Amino acid sequence: MYPIVRKEILSASVKLFDLKAPLVAAKAKAGQFFILRADEKGERIPLTIADFDREQGTITAIFQEIGAGTRLLGRLEAGDAVLDVVGPLGVPSEIERFDGPVAVVGGGVGIAPIYPIARALKEAGNRVIAIIGARNKELLFWEEKMAAVSDALIVCTDDGSYGRKGFVTDALKDLYEANKDLQRVWAIGPMPMMRAIANTTRPMGVPTIVSMNPLMLDGTGMCGACRVLVGGETKFACVDGPEFDGHLVDFDLALKRLAIYRDEEKRALAALEH
């Protein structure tokens, strides 16, 4: 069993757990994820590693309660434990020292997994400009943590309730106007946001990495549940990703697959509520 050593409520639907998982913490790198199962009946939930503390042997998971599985998970408290944690999985982010500024963009719950990437880029000696955004102020978190690992931070809300009003794509366009030597962009958030970022950076010619979060089952490349089409080739997000070239990902197909999954989720949620 893997104890929850700390729980934090970041917003109405976003929760944070620090989980005691020393073996995962020892190997975790930015960009990787793990699969968690709360109990024998629980579904497998893939979560990107939001932070890790090798000394304490803990990993940080941040999740939004969007489906039956994550809602049940959100009911657990510090002192409870989850049945299993498998990881770290996936290919770590490619971190190197670039000759110009790099940007990291986190939307909504995507702020969590973008944090370790920003930190790793900063530690590698890069000039890191961060953009974080959410629908409204209540859904924002980790502003201070992001500020600590970036040279500049732009905070946006769709409704203007905090920071700059508007989408992260608008902030990125302005950032590019002021930094034409922008070397690379990492974007993590809901798929429509990542698609919008990729569409924004394509004409700029700025390489853009996105982290795909499709349905995952085994996390070992065996079941095929997490397949995504990248540059016309089928890839498995769990073993080939989760990061891919955002300009090559077939987002329309990925969104269609996600919609099918959502219908199933709605049925599972209805069952949970009755």
The strand order across the sheet containing 14-20 reads: 51-53, 58-64, 14-20, 2-9, 81-82
- Alpha-carbon distance of 268 to 274, in angstroms, equals 10
DSSP assignment, residue 80? B
Minimum distance of ligand FES from residue 261's CB (angstroms): 13
Pick between residue 90 and residue 246 the one whose CB is nearest to ligand FES: 90
Minimum distance of ligand FES from residue 253's CB (angstroms): 16
Cβ atoms of 187 and 246 within 8 Å: the answer is yes
Pick between residue 168 and residue 216 the one whose CB is nearest to ligand FES: 216
Angle ∠(231,258,52) on CA atoms, nearest 5? 85
- Alpha-carbon distance of 80 to 37, in angstroms, equals 13
41 sits in the region (left: phi over 0; alpha: psi -120 to 50; else beta) called alpha
List, in sequence order, every residue forming a beta bridge with 245; answer none if it has no partner: 209
Pick between residue 204 and residue 239 the one whose CB is nearest to ligand FES: 239
Minimum distance of ligand FES from residue 247's CB (angstroms): 22
Pick between residue 191 and residue 206 the one whose CB is nearest to ligand FES: 191
Pick between residue 21 and residue 45 the one whose CB is nearest to ligand FES: 45
Minimum distance of ligand FES from residue 31's CB (angstroms): 16
Site residues for ligand FES per CB under 6 A: 216-219, 221-226, 236, 238
Pick between residue 10 and residue 89 the one whose CB is nearest to ligand FES: 89
Minimum distance of ligand FES from residue 155's CB (angstroms): 33
Tokens read off for 121 = 């880029």
The DSSP result for 225-243, as a single string, is: TTEEEETTEEEEHHHH-SE
Minimum distance of ligand FES from residue 233's CB (angstroms): 15
DSSP assignment, residue 78? B
